[in-house]
Amino acid sequence: MTVNLERVREQVGAVLDRYGRDQGALVSVLQDVQGELGYLAREALVEVSNGLGVPLSRVYSVATFFRAFSLVPRGRHQINVCLGTACHVRGAVRVLESIERETGIKAGETSDDLRFSLDTVNCVGACALGPIVIVDGKYSGEMTVNDVRPLLDSYD
Amino acid sequence: MSRLGSPQELEALRQSLVQSRDPNRRCVTICGGTGCVALLSGDVIGAFREEMKERGLDSEVDLRVTGCRGFCERGPHVVIHPEGILYQRVKQKDVPEIVSETIVDGKTIDRLLYVDPASRQKAVHESEVPFYSKQYRLVLDGNARISPDSLEDYLAVGGYAAMQKALTSMSPLEVLEEVKKSGLRGRGGGGFPAGRKWETTRNAEGEPKYIICNCDEGDPGAFMDRSLMEGNPHSILEGMIIGAYAIGAHEGFIYVRNEYPLAVLHAETAIRQAVERGLLGDDILGTGFSCHIRINRGGGAFVCGESTALMASLEGKVGEPRAKYVHTSERGLWEKPTNLNNVETWANVPLIINNGSDWYRGIGTEGSKGTKIFSLVGKVNNTGLVEVPMGMTLREIVMDIGGGVPKGKRLKAVQTGGPSGGCIPESLLDTPVDFDELDRVGSMMGSGGMIVMDETNCMVDIAKYFISFLEGESCGKCVPCREGLKRMREILADITEGRGQEGDIERLERLSETLLDCALCGLGNTAPNPVLTTIRYFRDEYEAHIRDRRCPAGVCKALITYSIAETCPGCGLCVKVCPQGAITLVEKKKPVVLDQSKCIKCGACYDVCRLDAVVVK
């Protein structure tokens, strides 16, 4: 994927201004940059590093420490499978395995056609409805292995 | 919106709000918490708006979208006031009927009422539902009564009165004394006395001092902080401002999990409203006291719930903890004295100031005062948030409020305290739940997760689950945690995958001791708890895996097989869902045939069979 450097500069610049170029806001800055670009491109991290006066190594250490950040482009649809305890005891692992079979990707991966990115999360706090699968922010509760295909089929 | 320049102006506004609100006016409240939203309460809300507009009722009937009411299992919830009729599992298509039958004609719709699974009795009002009637809702009370994005709602139910009282008629030391006397202990897990922590920060050298609200609720299976921050954000701000006043801090932070978008949104709205009205910011209510609060979103790291890691993250660094030779209350954020409390702790503060410490001490047990919110989840009929006085027994919580285990299964254990807690077996269900009693049985209060497990849950698998979780979340800074958890997970994987050996249990115990003694922070120190308690109470299950290569609960894939019972009527549902084509219908009305060589044990047939004809052994 090619990155439009001008546009990245512009977007990152706007985020940095919003936080007054405060070094302490590094985590928030990266969250907002990812929100704008969909992921943290190397070019964006360089911009953040220059803009905040923080060494690039530290920007990378923060960007790779927190699981909310992605350094590679994401798929069109983001699937999050909750593996919190409540979902786990209700069979979330079997649901995850089923999604992995259907999409052909493992948790943490993106499909080659960029249709899906699959991740696991450690509890979204909707434990009463477990097992939960979230696609593009939309929650589906009480999932079973057999609900997986119809759910995925509704996303192109 | 005008700024309130004095306590008198706040009181006048409150009075006018209370008077303008007719308690007998028709009002529909709909739950807008994350659980109900997931069950499409958004569609229900939209349908009500449209239906009432169409019928010209929108000026006569109020519509209020409230925070989480806790009974997520039966959502979306709709309550019709003034009668207080509770409808549950409401769908968009039910709305026209509710409007014409209940709102216009005043009739109750039977099929939307809650039915107690034990007595088969229908409940019309919330107070008749056993899930609610045995609770004592103090902190959660506001969630059902206000709209989280309305400051006016909060003021009308007495909001900011405690702050007003503290700032105008109490000195900071008096506030501190009151909180100390109340016996309030930190709700985030440690159970450290909140008043003493405040005092340490107050007396510590260094300016400025900071306060932090920890809403990085990382414990899987716990969601009370989410619910409070989403449902009643002003109550948390109020608690924080009172704390800042007592401590002598003027700057505060709310650290919210990134996975809680609605909580972030509502906290942002609340801060904006409070600042606009002069309840937060410079010169609050003209008293001269100033306090600023900012929100920071977490990055999805469990360890950031630990105070020193959280502060590192607030400083824009990697969220790694440090050794606490010097407590953060003395040297925390940017090396300054910092007082960190959990969401629920802060939410208790206005109650204590309003009602006094004597009142608060009257609730709970000798060593644990007040109420505690638990998230009762897993294999339990009534899943949701439960607020009870400290000291109620596990049995009352799980059986009476939770309604027991579904599908007639036998209760096996209750796991409390999140990944750092332990599994309490059925035989100890009469343990009163407070900080000290849970410690005594080898578990802990933690943030209040309570996960119920039945006979189909494998305790070795649960231990592996928690250890894998913690292995992934370990920041990797100290060796015992980074390497110890990895080895423990490998041993547990061996046991669950049929490669267990004699001595594995002892090896796990030895590694556990090392972690308890040598890990750097709370994550590692408490990480062995799930392993130690499952070994302590379910040793026979470990031995069955190791010696007999058998998983008694039928969970561990390598040790189980799926088979078809003779009772199978050959309906063919499982044939359709099997991804491997391993099941064939040989003869009509005869059991289907499962080819073990093709079976990948995915469980699709088990899930789809309505006649329990798929057997796992």
Is A71 within a domain?
Answer: no
B contact residues 211-270, partner A, Cβ 8 Å cutoff? 217-223, 226-227, 258-261
Instruction: Say if residues A36 and B293 touch (Cβ distance below 8 Å).
Output: no
Tell me which chain A residues have a C-beta less than 8 angstroms from the C-beta of B315.
24
Predicted pLDDT at A53:
93
Residue A72 lies in a domain: no
Q: Is the pLDDT of residue B23 over 70?
A: yes
Residue range B192-218, pLDDT digits in tens: 999 999 999 999 999 999 999 999 988
Q: Which residues pair with B252 in a beta bridge?
A: B211, B293
Predicted local confidence at residue B188, as pLDDT? 87
Q: Which domain holds residue B423?
A: 371-454
Whether residues B530 and B569 fall in one domain: no
Q: A65, B35: Cβ pair inside 8 Å?
A: no
Cis peptide before B432 (omega within 30 of 0): no
Q: List A residues 97-136 in contact with B (Cβ-Cβ < 8 A).
A: 97-98, 101, 121-130, 132
pLDDT above 70 for A2: no
B300 in contact with chain A, both atoms CB, cutoff 8 A:
yes
Domain coverage including residue A57:
5-65
The reply to whether A39 and A83 lie within a common domain is no
> What percentage of chain A exceeds 90 in pLDDT?
63
Residue A70 lies in a domain: no
Is there a contact between A122 and B227 if contact means CB atoms under 8 Å apart? no
* Nearest-10 crossing angle of helices B233-247, B194-203: 50
Number of domains in chain A: 2
A-B C-beta contacts closer than 8 Å: 154
Contacts of residue B193, defined as CB under 8 A and 6 or more positions apart, other chains included, come to B180, B183, B184, B185, B186
- Confidence band of B304 (pLDDT split at 50, 70, 90): confident
Measured between CA atoms, how close is B72 to chain A, in angstroms? 6
> By C-alpha distance, which of B135, B130, B127 is closest to B392?
B135
- Alpha helices in B64-160, H assignment, sequence order: 95-97, 130-133, 141-145, 151-156
Interface predicted TM-score (ipTM) of this complex, two decimals: 0.84
The reply to whether A83 falls in a domain is yes
B444 and B578 in a single domain? The answer is no
pLDDT in tens, A16-48: 999 988 888 899 899 999 988 889 999 999 999
Domain boundary among A65, A92, A110: A65
CA dist B159 and B136 (Å) reads 19
Looking at A40, A65, A90, the residue that finishes a domain is A65
Domain edge (last residue) among B307, B326, B361: B361
Claim to verify: residue B208 and residue B345 sit in the same structural domain: yes
Residue B298: inside a domain, yes or no?
A: yes
- Indicate if the pLDDT at residue A66 is higher than 70: yes
The whole-angstrom distance between B243's CA and the closest CA on chain A is 24
Based on the domain organization, do B223 and B352 belong to the same domain?
A: yes
- B122 vs B325, residue with greater confidence: B122
Q: Which residues of A touch B260 (CB under 8 A)?
A: 125
What per-residue confidence (pLDDT) applies to B435? 93
Residue-level pLDDT at B418: 85
Q: Which chain A residue has the Cα nearest residue B419?
A: A85
Alpha helices (runs of H) in chain A, residue ranges in sequence order: 5-18, 26-37, 42-52, 56-65, 85-89, 92-103, 148-153
**Three-state SS for B163?**
helix
Burial of A133: CB neighbours in 10 Å, binned 0-12, 13-18, 19+:
buried
Question: Which residue in chain B is spatially nearest to A126 when comparing CA positions?
Answer: B35
Q: Which of B482, B466, B472, B465 is nearest to B520 (CA)?
A: B482
What's the confidence (pLDDT) of residue A49?
96
Q: Please report, for the domain that includes residue B323, its CATH number.
A: 3.40.50.11540
Residue with the larger pLDDT of the pair B534 and A156: B534
The CATH number linked to B500 is: 1.20.1440.230
Query: Are A25 and B316 within 8 A, CB to CB?
Result: yes
CATH number at residue A139: 3.40.30.10
Nearest-CB residue to A65 (from B301, B378, B453): B301
Q: Is the pLDDT of residue B549 over 90?
A: yes
Asked if B104 and B198 sit in the same domain, the reply is no
**How many domains does chain B fold into?**
5
Q: What integer pLDDT is reported at residue A129 of this predicted model? A: 86
A residues 6..45 contacting B (CB < 8 A): 23-28, 30-31
* pLDDT reported for residue A1: 53
Beta carbons of B379 and A58 less than 8 Å apart: no
Residues A106, A137 share a domain: yes
d(CA B344, CA B364): 16
Q: What is the pLDDT of residues B341-366, one digit of tens each?
A: 999 999 999 999 999 999 999 999 99
**A121, containing H or E segment:** strand A116-121
Whose tokens are 């490669």? That residue is B499
Inter-chain contact A101–B579, Cβ cutoff 8 Å? yes
Helix or strand (DSSP H, E) at B485: helix B479-496
Q: Is A140 exposed, middle or buried (0-12, 13-18, 19+ CB in 10 A)?
A: middle
- Before B208, cis peptide (omega within 30)? yes
Same domain as B173, residue B37: no
Q: Is residue A27 part of a domain?
A: yes
B321 at the A interface (CB within 8 A)?
no
Task: Report the chain B residue with the minimal C-alpha distance to residue A150.
Answer: B577
Contact B465 A132 (CB under 8 A): no
**Mind telling me how many Å the CA of B578 is from chain A's nearest CA?**
9
Taken as a whole, chain B contains a residue count of: 617
Residue B182 backbone phi and psi in degrees, to 5: -65, -25
Q: For position B386, which CATH number holds?
A: 3.10.20.600
Residue A146 touches partner B, C-beta closer than 8 Å: yes
